[in-house]
Structure 1
Amino acid sequence: MAEIRIENVRKEFGSFVAVQSSTLTIEDGSFFVMLGPSGCGKTTTLRMIAGLELPTSGRILLDGEDVTMRRAAARDIAFVFQMYALYPHMDVRGNIGFPLRCQGVPRAEVKRRVAETARLLRIGPLLDRPVSTLSGGDRQRVALGRAIVREPKAFLMDEPLGALDTEFRHLMCTELRDLHDRLGATTVYVTHDQLEAMSMADRIAVMRHGVIEQSGPPQDLYDRPASMYVADFLGSPPMNFLAFRGAVGRGDRQVVIDGAEVPVPELREDRAEGPLALGVRPEHVRFDDAAPLRGAVVGAEYMGTTQIVTVATAGGAVKARIPSNRLVRDGERVGLAFRSAGLSLFDAGSGWALRSALHDFAPQGFAGGVRHG
C-alpha cells in the first residue's frame, strides 16, 4: 500500500475556489476520513487524489512519487462511488472481474481473484446473479469487490453508504472497518456523517469552505477542537457555547457569566479579551444546586439510559447529558456545574480555540491563525 501526501493543493473553478492550499499526509495503511458538509471541498480533494481532477497548484504524492499530472488510470488507485456504478448487463462475477479483464489478466487468475474477493466480502453465493436483483447493501459489496480485486495501492471512497438506509449503513460501517483491517489498505473515505467518521476513522480531516480546519485522531478532535466549527460539527448533541465579554489572562481560572463565577481552562497566552465563548460537552455538565450558574429547564429528550436536558441561561442554551432516572420538569430552576478538565475557551469573533484544558494539544492541519496552548 502507500502513503498519500498532498502539498499546498489548490483547486479553482473559474473564480470559485473549491480547495484552498491544503496540506495533508495520509499514512500508509490508515483509514482516513474527510468530513464536512456539502460544498466544503472534500470530494474535490478526493477526486484530485484520484486523478479525476487536476489541481490548479500544488503537488500530490503517492508512495513518495509525484503523480500530480498523471492520469487516473496510471495512479493504481481504486475509486468507490456513492451510486455503485455497476454494469447492469453483467452478473456479479462479471462486474467484479471487469477491471482485470480490461488489464489483460489471464482468465485463470481473474477467476481466482474474483472468488477470493467474493469470499472476503461474503458474496460468494451471489456471483452468478444479475446485479439488478441485489439489495442496496449487496450492490455496494459488489462495487467494493470491483475495487478490491485490482489490489491497488489505495482505496478512495466517496460517500459509499449514502444511498443505503440507516440499518444497512450501520452494518456496512462495521463491515468496511473490518475489511480495512483485514486488507491493511490505505483508505480515504469522504462523508458528511460525523457518526460514520467517528466510528471508522484512524484520523479525520474536518473541512469547511475548502479549508482543512483540523486533522487528527477522532478523540483528539472531539476532546480538543481547534475551532467552534469543529466543536459544533462533532458530537451529538454538539458542544455547548456560553458567550461572554471580558478579558482572561494567564493564570486566570474563573470568569463571570451572568453574575456567576465559572471555571475556565488556563491560558498560555498573556491575555485574551473581547467576545469569548466557553465550550463544554453535554457529558461534562451536571446539575448542582450549589452551583452559582443557574437556568431554567426548557426541554428533555429521553435517550434510554440517559437524557438530554436543555437549560436556558443568560449566556445561552446548555444541553446536559444526565441519567434518565433524574426527574426534571419544564421551568425547573437548576444549577449547572462543569467538569473543569472538559472545558475549552474560544475567541468568539474568529471562532478559533484559545485553550482546551484536557491536556496539551497540537493537532495537524490547522488553517491560518489558530492559537492554542
Structure 2
Amino acid sequence: MAEIIIKNLRKNFGDFTAVQSSSFKIEDGEFFMLLGPSGCGKTTTLRMIAGLELPTAGEIYIDGEEVSQKPARQRDIAFVFQMFALYPHMNVRKNISYPLVSQGMAKAQIKEKVAEVSRILGIEDILDRPVGGLSGGDRQRVALGRAIVREPKAFMMDEPLGALDAEFRERMAEELRALHDRMGATTIYVTHDQLEAMQMGDKIVVMNHGVIEQFGTPQDIYDKPATMFVADFIGSPSMNFLRFHGQVHTGATSIRMHHVDLSVPAVREPFEGDMVYGIRPEHIALSDSSESRGEVVAAEYLGTTQIVTVKTASGNLKARISSDQPVRSGEQVGLAFNGATATLFDNQSGKALRSDLNEGVLAHV
C-alpha cells in the first residue's frame, strides 16, 4: 500500500476552476474521505489522483513517486465506481479474474486469488452466477472483488454505495470499513453523505467550490469546525448560528449578545465587527433559571431524544434534549448554552476566530 501526497493541485476547465490549490497528505493504510456537496471538486480531485484527469498544476506523489502526468495504467491504483461497471456477459468469477487474466497471470494463481477474495467478501456461493441477476449489494461486492484481486497500491472509490437503498447502504458501509481494517489498504473515498464520511473515515477533507474548507479527523471536524460552511454541512441538525455585532478581546471567555452574557472558549486574538455564535443542538439545555429565553415553536420526537425548535430574539435555534423532558408548542423556556463547546465566527469571512477550542484547526486548511 502507499502514502499519497497532494501539493497545490489545481484543475481548470477553460475559465472555470474546479479545484483550487489543494494540498493534503494521506497516510499509508488510511481510509480517507473526500466530502462535500455536488460540484465541490471532490470527484475531480479523485480523478486527478487516479490519473483519469491530468491536473492543470500541482504535484501528486504515490508511494514516493511523482505521477501527476502519468496515465492511470502506470499508477497501480484500482477504481470502484458508483454504477459497478461490471461486464454483463461474464459471470462473477470471470469479472473478478479479468484484471489478472489481462496481466497474463497463471491460471492456478488466478484461481487461488479469486477464491481468497471471494472468501473475504462472502461471495463464494455466487461465483458462477451471471452478474445481471444479482442484487445491488452483491454487484458492489463483485466490483470490490475485481479491484481487490489486483492488490494495488491504493483504492479510489467514487460514491460506491450511492446506487444502493438505505438498508444495503448502511450494511455495505460497515462491511467496507471492516474490509479496509482487515486489508490495511490505502483508500480514498468520495461521498456527499456526511454521515457516511463520519462513520467510515480516518481523516476527512471537506470541500466547497473547489476549495478545501477543513482537513482533519471526524471528531475535529465536528467539534472544531474551521468555517461556517463546515459547521453547517456537518451534523444533523447542523450547528445553530446566532448573529450579533460586538467585540472580543484576547483572552475573553464570554461575549455580550442581545443583553445576555454567553461563555466561549478563550479567544486568542481581538476582533470587532459582525460575529456569529455557533453551538451544536446537543449543547443547548432547557433551563428555567437561564437569562436567555425563547418560545417553543416545534418538537420532533426521535425516540430517546427530541429536537426542539425555539424562537429567540437572535433567531430560531434547535436543541437536542431528552424525550422524557416535556415541552409544549408556545411555551416560554430558558436556554442554557455549554459555552465550552461554542465556536465564534467572523460573519464576513465565515472563518472561526482562533480560540482554545479551535487552536490549530485552521493550520489544516
2:54 counterpart residue number: 54
Identity %: 64
Q: Partner amino acid for 1:329?
A: R
Q: Is the contact between residue 301 and residue 323 of structure 2 (CA under 8 Å) also seen in structure 1?
A: yes
Do 2:268 and 2:355's aligned partners in 1 also have CA atoms closer than 8 Å?
no
Given that residues 263 and 340 in structure 2 are in contact (C-alpha distance below 8 angstroms), is that contact kept between their aligned partners in structure 1?
A: no
| Aligned counterparts, 1:267-278, within 5 A | 267-269=267-269, 271-278=270-277
User: Alpha-carbon deviation of 1:244?
Assistant: 0.5
Higher mean C-alpha displacement, 130-139 vs 340-349: 340-349
Deviation at 1:95, TM superposition (A): 0.4
The offset of 1:3, in angstroms, is: 0.3
Whichever residue aligns with residue 280 of structure 2, its letter is R
In the other structure, the counterpart of 2:153 is: 153
How many angstroms does 1:211 deviate by? 0.7
Structure 1 counterpart of 2:136, one-letter code: G
Contact kept, 8 Å, 1:206 with 1:230, in 2: the verdict is: yes
Normalized against structure 1, the TM-score is what? Answer: 0.96
Shift of 1:142: 0.3
What is the CA-CA distance between 1:364 and the residue it aligns to? Answer: 4.9
- The one-letter code sitting in structure 2 at the alignment partner of 1:308 is I
| Secondary structure of 1:60 counterpart | strand
Contact 2:242 2:277 in 1 (8 A): yes
Q: Which runs of 5+ in 1 are unaligned?
A: 367-373
Structure 2 CA distance for partners of 1:98 and 1:304, relative to 1, 3 Å: same
Answer whether contact 1:18 1:40 (CA < 8 A) is retained: yes
8 Å Cα contact 2:6/2:60 also seen in 1: yes
Structure 2 distance, partners of 1:334, 1:196, is: 35
**Aligned equivalent of 1:172:** 172
Query: What pairs up with 1:320-335 in 2 under 5 angstroms?
Result: 320-335=319-334
Greater shift in the superposed pair: 17-26 or 253-262: 253-262
What residue number does 1:301 align with? 300
Give the deviation of 1:246 after TM superposition.
1.0
Structure 1 residues 364 and 169 mapped into 2: Cα distance closer, same or farther (>3 Å)? farther
Sort the Cα spacing of 1:198 and 1:124 in 2 relative to 1 into closer, same or farther, 3 A: same
Verify the 8 A CA contact 1:213 1:230 in the aligned structure 2: yes
**What residue in structure 1 maps to residue 73 of structure 2?**
73
Show the counterpart of 2:225: 225
Give the residue type in structure 2 aligned to 1:147: A
Secondary structure of the corresponding residue to residue 361 of structure 2: coil
Aligned partner of residue 212 in structure 1, secondary structure: strand
Partner of 1:131: 131
Q: Residues 9-32 of structure 1: CA distance to partner in whole angstroms, max 9, x if unpaired?
A: 100000000000101100000000
1:45-124 pair list within 5 angstroms: 45-124=45-124
CA contact (8 A) 1:343 1:357 kept: no
Q: What runs of 5+ residues in structure 2 fail to find an aligned partner?
A: none
Aligned counterparts of 2:360 and 2:66: Cα–Cα separation in 1: 31
Q: Give me the whole-angstrom Cα distance separating, in 1, the residues matched to 2:355 and 2:322.
A: 26
The DSSP-based 3-state class of the residue aligned with 2:288 is: coil
Hey, what's the Cα distance between the residues in 2 that align with 1:168 and 1:315? Answer: 42
Partners of 2:243 and 2:310 lie apart in 1 by 15
Letter in 2 for 1:318: L
What residue number does 1:256 align with?
256
| 1:307-357 per-position Cα deviation (integer Å, ceiling 9, x unaligned) | 010111121211111000111111111111111211110001110000354
> Is the 1:216–1:364 Cα contact (8 Å) retained in structure 2?
no
Alpha-carbon distance in structure 2 between the residues aligned to 1:361 and 1:327 = 40
- Which stretch has the larger CA shift, 309-318 or 33-42? 309-318
Q: 1: CA distance between counterparts of 2:356 and 2:342? A: 6
1:202 to 2:202 alignment: yes
CA contact (8 A) 2:264 2:340 kept: no
